[in-house]
Structure 1
Amino acid sequence: MFRCSDVVLAAWLLPAALAATCARAGDLPEQEAWNAHVQATYVWQAKPAFDAAYNGPASLAPWRETGYSFSATAAFGMRPWQGAELYVDPEVVQGKPMSGLHGLGGMTNGEQQKTSGLTPTVYRARLFLRQTWELGGDRTAVASDMNQLAGSVAARRIVLTAGNLAASDIFDNNSQAHDARSQFLNWALLAHGAWDFAADARGYTWGAALEYYDGDWAVRAGRFIMPAESNGLALDTRIFRHYGDQVELEHRHAWLGQAGTVRLLAFHDRMQMGGFRDALAAAAPGIAPSVADVRRERGKTGFGASLEQALGENAAVFARASRNDGQSETYAFAEIERSLSAGVTLRGATWGRTGDTVGVAAVRNGLTQAHRDYLAAGGVGAFIGDGRLDYHPERIAEAYYKVGLGEHAALSLDWQHVANPAYNGARGPVDVFGLRLHGQY
């Protein structure tokens, strides 16, 4: 059983959405009535030229390229009544993706939005209400953070979150691989790679999630609206007809006196989607198939398992495994239908650099046979399509070193190696080098 009294808790291992650490009653912080936080993140990446037997309409360009992204977010929170928290986040983004954001299953910059351009764009990222009904038990401290008011919560509670937010704010909240602003950058390390979660082209949606916490256990379920068209910005508001549903079971535990968390997630999407087999059957001889020509009402189902485990005060490991049925087009996230990932993070206190962190991870992404046949016939998806296909699983290695620049800023160096980009053994491998500057207050 996970208990604050008998576990050496690594505070950095707990979910970022809670940022909570166990505390004695006398250590609990005062309840914040309101707060305001800001963040800014700049990511620059470059890749050298690499070998490619051929190029297609959605290939990663084989010549040298650079790209960048910039985001700045303000987060305002307040308590309108007992148990309630209201948050609003205005945000601005700007960027230039490499290869027009094409040519990879696991994209290399999790801060790179599908709609970013050279002109700064301002919009509302989040506007949501969180209502908590406390049912008793030990209290846990909650630190002041973006979209989080300082205070404490009971071990047994029900939480309802509704409004405009990201589904990944609530689900698959792995503390070691979840935030491209401070952790790994690759898309396949931000969430379950095969989880085609509801989101517009910026990564946000509208909907609601209900959570129940009871000591070591938590269960949550949510429904969110999907984009009106594949990977588009506009959302389809018909939430009872087109939607993304997910349910997750979470258990926190202690292993050899160290904190850990296991999560199991299942999802089901319902939209007008094109099927790969339908597109192949409908294509005229000599003409590349297109999922856009065969869209109809259909569902997509998948699941994922996640583990994070502290190995002491300054080390932790994590792993994810996910898959979806892979019979229809990618609708909102990455062109991944099978994904395995694992990694380790070490805090710099081990070598006398308290503010530093190093992370190393490996990913293996795959596609179903239906999707492979579609690409081999010249089909193109939202992000990939080389015109032909010599299928091999896409393999990614990523390492970063984050240097703390005082309490509120960090500079990270990042390296990613991608073998078989877009699952094509006839192209690559490719190396991507990155620099990230992040500040938060």
Structure 2
Amino acid sequence: MNKNLPTCLTLLGFALSSFAQDQEAWNAHFQSTYIWQKKPSLSSPYAGPNSLLAQAEKSYSFTATAAFGVRLSRLTEAYFDPEVAQGVPISGLVGLAGFSNGELAKTSGAKPKLYRARLFVRHTVDLGGEQQPIESAAHQLSGKAASERLVLSAGALSVLDIFDANSYAHDPRMQFMNWALMTHAAYDYPADSRGYTYGVAAEYIAEGWALRAGRFAVPKEPNQLQLDSRLFRHYGDQVELSKDYAVAGQTGTVRLLGFRMKAVMARYDDALSATSGTPTLDAVRQQDQAKWGVGIGVEHKLAENIGVFIRAFKADGRTETYAFTEADRSTSAGLQVGGSAWGRAQDVLGIGIAQSSLSTGHTQFLARGGQTFFLGDGKLSYRPERDFEAYYRAELLRGLFLTGDLQRIRNPGYNADRGPASFYALRLHWEN
């Protein structure tokens, strides 16, 4: 036996016990989510290479995640998430802006795929104020944190882990599944094709408000898996200011969010002027193109078990969609009602609407037969895409939830000649 092993184990035990009184030394949380979805046939007088298919379709997705956290010191934590995903999307995941299953962004075909979802370190700088309790959760070790603090994160994660953390419309595993409701549809946040990236972020958190900023890697090519490591040349910068408030005894939060991205991207006007025929983005991509967007989000509690939210976002509209979905302007709103009113405290009813729009150049590009990563009907009778979603989530057992979900999408892919499209889903989610 290694003579140093008992000493190492003693030191490890001492290190872990030093956190035991008021801090969690480590934790492990798990989740799995299965979503089955059906789309009936829809009206489709014509179709292109990236159209939502006219025939009835069925789809499924499955993800399973382990979230491990360990405390490296009193103020430093590390997290690691291995994840498995598989699934078959409706219409090959094309033909919409508000795709009907947010989990399908992470799937990799009908065969299960194991990958690293998150691997990051978080360090907190205590700046003073009262000590506030922190509950144990995935990516969060229980303990206490100062009311005024600086939180630094670095590594592989999702931008949505930090930014636009809406309480009612953020997690497709438990809340709304439509892409246009889980965040701003026009928020082209940096991510690989599974929804993850790597980078650094800083959060200054004080009593009642917070300022967040970060720089993250963008894909080497639009909506692809491989990320560009040149963070000083190609990147996605994010800034968010959030403020808590109270009105008539009920609380809420307002968030101002902006991004600026630099990457090898194309502009719609360049593609349109390059040819009198069918335009293409591939021929006009240039180094160090910039794209920006700004938005606002508000969530407000109407009563103990009722909350509402509203979002609005505008991207520049000149530059192609690079990492999220096809939208240049977006708005959404919704309502969440807890089941305590009818004796089911852990149940939730959610109703949401969203509208996504395109810029003039984006519209003309598609109308002339242009094809983007997600869209391409061959021609276009433009109308904003309008999404409706309603779900009821019931707790079957502790940590096990069954959700029934209905979605109705008018003008799918911004085309008034198509649809409307309906989607019916069942979602089974387990977590601990």
Fold agreement, TM-score > 0.5:
yes
Residue 368 in structure 1 maps to residue 356 in structure 2: no
Secondary structure of 1:232 counterpart:
coil
Q: Corresponding residue for 2:6?
A: none
CA drift of 1:114 comes to 6.0
Amino acid of the residue matched to residue 246 of structure 1? Q
* Aligned residue runs from structure 1 range 70-149, under 5 A: 70-113=62-105, 116-149=108-141
Q: Corresponding residue for 1:291?
A: 281
In the alignment, is the contact (CA less than 8 A) between 1:101 and 1:114 conserved in 2? Answer: no
Q: Corresponding residue for 1:39?
A: 31
Q: Corresponding residue for 1:270?
A: 262
In the alignment, is the contact (CA less than 8 A) between 2:390 and 2:405 conserved in 1? Answer: yes
* Aligned residue runs from structure 1 range 407-422, under 5 A: 407-422=398-413
Q: Corresponding residue for 2:7?
A: none
| CA offsets 1:164-200 (integer angstroms, 9 cap, x no match) | 0001100011010000000000011111111111100
Q: Corresponding residue for 1:67?
A: 59
In the alignment, is the contact (CA less than 8 A) between 1:192 and 1:339 conserved in 2? Answer: yes
In the alignment, is the contact (CA less than 8 A) between 2:159 and 2:196 conserved in 1? Answer: yes
Q: Corresponding residue for 1:58?
A: 50
Secondary structure of 2:282 counterpart:
helix
Secondary structure of 2:303 counterpart:
coil
CA drift of 1:206 comes to 0.7
Q: Which has the larger radius of gyration?
A: 2
CA drift of 1:359 comes to 0.1
Q: Corresponding residue for 2:336?
A: 345
CA drift of 1:115 comes to 5.2
Unpaired segments of 5 or more residues in structure 2? 1-20
Q: Corresponding residue for 1:397?
A: 388
Q: TM-score, normalised by structure 1?
A: 0.92
Residue 159 in structure 1 maps to residue 137 in structure 2: no
- Pick aligned residue for 1:209 from 180, 184, 201: 201
Residue 434 in structure 1 maps to residue 393 in structure 2: no
Unpaired segments of 5 or more residues in structure 1? 1-28
Amino acid of the residue matched to residue 60 of structure 1? L
In the alignment, is the contact (CA less than 8 A) between 2:218 and 2:234 conserved in 1? Answer: yes
In the alignment, is the contact (CA less than 8 A) between 1:392 and 1:425 conserved in 2? Answer: yes
User: Matched residues, percent identical?
Assistant: 51
Amino acid of the residue matched to residue 372 of structure 2? G
* Aligned residue runs from structure 1 range 154-193, under 5 A: 154-193=146-185
Secondary structure of 1:359 counterpart:
strand
Q: TM-score, normalised by structure 2?
A: 0.94
- What CA distance in whole angstroms lies between the structure 2 residues aligned with 1:366 and 1:276? 15
- What CA distance in whole angstroms lies between the structure 1 residues aligned with 2:373 and 2:332? 23
Secondary structure of 2:269 counterpart:
helix
Q: How many positions carry a matched residue from both structures?
A: 411
- What CA distance in whole angstroms lies between the structure 2 residues aligned with 1:136 and 1:319? 33
| CA offsets 1:31-84 (integer angstroms, 9 cap, x no match) | 100000000000111010011121111000011001110000000001111200
Q: Corresponding residue for 2:5?
A: none
In the alignment, is the contact (CA less than 8 A) between 1:85 and 1:129 conserved in 2? Answer: yes
CA RMSD of aligned residues (A): 1.0
Secondary structure of 1:112 counterpart:
helix
Change (3 A) 1:115 1:35: closer
Structure 1 segments of 4+ aligned residues over 6 angstroms from their partners: none
- What CA distance in whole angstroms lies between the structure 2 residues aligned with 1:289 and 1:98? 27
